[in-house]
Structure 1
């Protein structure tokens, strides 16, 4: 039993190491232009999807598949295992290298199991965590499969959806001044006037970022927002809401572009990731939790709008 647990621990640590190193490399590669691995152009199927289940990937898997797709210039975010492609009558081309994704299983003392795919650490005294790594291949790496044609809604409609999506969150949003921020003591988001932004897409990317911070209020998701600038806790919160903004913008088919103010965060993000191989998993899991909360605030009609945006 001890040997099995040691082997499992090595497997989990290897997964943490491999995924973290990949994301660190991607951050370093884009640092000169402030381009992070979670930036995307808002094109069709931006959120990675499994070809067999048609379900979107979650948590840290979203980030790692974005990294892989960006590096290889894949036009569509459709992924599957070798077996899944084979069962669809397609064939992964010889010599193609796949991408690691992580699925988690937890077992409780009664012997029951539950499968997770968001990279969240579920290891509690009553539950044990089992990590499994799977290799997936993009649709661009296989023969015998044609991705479905995806038509984006006109930009004006996507912006309207974003406006309604943010309004449904029930967060007090005020305008004025030159800085975008969330003020915990007053529980409101402060945004510069709309005209201060390059365009509507940039406005909503920043607004979602700040609403991500607001989700941490005690009466919402109750995260610790006390970290000071320069601290590991502050860097983690910033990384979390950056990932959250990218996830929701992907759902709304809006692009996420580099920002000059990322310069002061990049070094701290790299420091946190290098010092804790679980950090990106934790940040991605928290970002997924916020995204789930935001979607839960939407009406059924609004959710249909989001699904129809891509």
Structure 2
């Protein structure tokens, strides 16, 4: 008997189908050169969407031609005296929550704060489990009464990107006609800057290869040994591409399609990987945002300083890591709960 999918699983599958369709038509839907800054945000809470939600809203905006980067729920619009246009369709996004089966509500730590640490742990193990809730948001273009969007033209400070490369700790070598990162040598190879058609092309390429370098064993230790066409290779390339989306929002720097591989084989490899793993784009988005945060921090800090400053956070979470070292991913845990049971990375220019 075929299992019944949860709402968030259905919505993920629908979204991934749209992404695969776009890839099969010869387009990577996260690639777009925006004239204005485009950072998916909620104007009622003044928050920026993160991870898979941010990438999903970015991609859907590209596919639907939205130029407004504001997204909010029906009730949030109503609370401001705005109206959702008749016939407008909401976009499903996700929120991870901890559910307390004892109270039948979202878990509130205050409810068990008077218990001993042992009792708290026992209560959590028995009653608290993760869940994903789906919310629907509407684009600002579909909201009547919302203030006009203030568009901000992208202005890139290339000196900041030079600083990022200098602080990365990765050796950058210039020459030849190929751009790639060598995991074994921990080196980025780039053609001479004068051989690129523009500064944007040069720096877009450099940041793409820098994203790959974050997977080195002394940084985030990702699998960089996948062969072209393999799931691990596709995931690593997807992480690098999506990190460019996040970095482009923050620096800001546009995608430069002239330096990206748009070959049918390249796009089909992503389509195949997404067919094999419907959660891939969400998993890659989470990692890509971490990569982008690291890259952006390099404007003001050296590579070693960033990891040193993060050490305390690692120590704080060490017990959680040990506790869950044999567990599956969060997604797998949610599903299980419901069921009760040396290659170079880069491209030529």
Q: Give the corresponding residue for 1:122.
A: none
Q: Is it true that 1:47 corresponds to 2:39 in the alignment?
A: yes
For residue 13 of structure 1, the aligned residue among 9, 13, 17 is 9
How far 1:257 sits from its partner (Å)?
3.3
How far 1:64 sits from its partner (Å)?
1.7
Q: Distance in 1 between matches of 2:299 and 2:167?
A: 6
Q: Give the corresponding residue for 1:198.
A: 197
- The alpha-carbon distance between structure 1 residues 55 and 173, as it changes in their structure 2 partners (threshold 3 A), is farther
Q: Distance in 1 between matches of 2:85 and 2:217?
A: 50
Q: Give the corresponding residue for 1:294.
A: 295
Q: Give the corresponding residue for 1:224.
A: 223
Q: Distance in 2 between matches of 1:113 and 1:223?
A: 35
How far 1:109 sits from its partner (Å)?
11
Q: Which runs of 5+ in 1 are unaligned?
A: 1-5, 115-125, 301-310
Q: Distance in 2 between matches of 1:161 and 1:60?
A: 27
Deviations 1:137-181 (CA, angstroms, capped at 9, x unpaired)? 111111111234233354xx5333333334333322221111111
- The alpha-carbon distance between structure 1 residues 185 and 103, as it changes in their structure 2 partners (threshold 3 A), is same
Q: Distance in 1 between matches of 2:204 and 2:212?
A: 13
Q: Is it true that 1:57 corresponds to 2:49 in the alignment?
A: yes
Q: How many residue pairs align between the two structures?
A: 278
CA contact (8 A) 1:169 1:298 kept: no
CA contact (8 A) 1:42 1:253 kept: no
Q: Give the corresponding residue for 1:79.
A: 71
- The alpha-carbon distance between structure 1 residues 284 and 189, as it changes in their structure 2 partners (threshold 3 A), is same
Q: Give the corresponding residue for 2:183.
A: 184
Q: Give the corresponding residue for 1:254.
A: 253
How far 1:106 sits from its partner (Å)?
4.5
CA contact (8 A) 2:35 2:154 kept: no
Deviations 1:52-96 (CA, angstroms, capped at 9, x unpaired)? 222221222222212221233222211111111122221111111
CA contact (8 A) 1:48 1:57 kept: yes
Q: Which contiguous aligned blocks of 4+ residues in structure 1 show a shift greater than 6 angstroms?
A: 107-111
Q: Which runs of 5+ in 2 are unaligned?
A: 110-124, 302-349
- The alpha-carbon distance between structure 1 residues 246 and 94, as it changes in their structure 2 partners (threshold 3 A), is same
- The alpha-carbon distance between structure 1 residues 43 and 169, as it changes in their structure 2 partners (threshold 3 A), is farther
RMSD: 2.7
Q: Give the corresponding residue for 2:266.
A: 265
How far 1:289 sits from its partner (Å)?
1.7
CA contact (8 A) 1:48 1:65 kept: yes
Question: Is the radius of gyration larger for structure 1 or structure 2?
Answer: 2
TM-score (normalised: structure 1): 0.80
Q: Distance in 2 between matches of 1:106 and 1:240?
A: 27
Equivalent runs, 1:33-182 vs 2, <5 Å:
35-106=27-98, 128-152=129-153, 154=155, 157-182=156-181
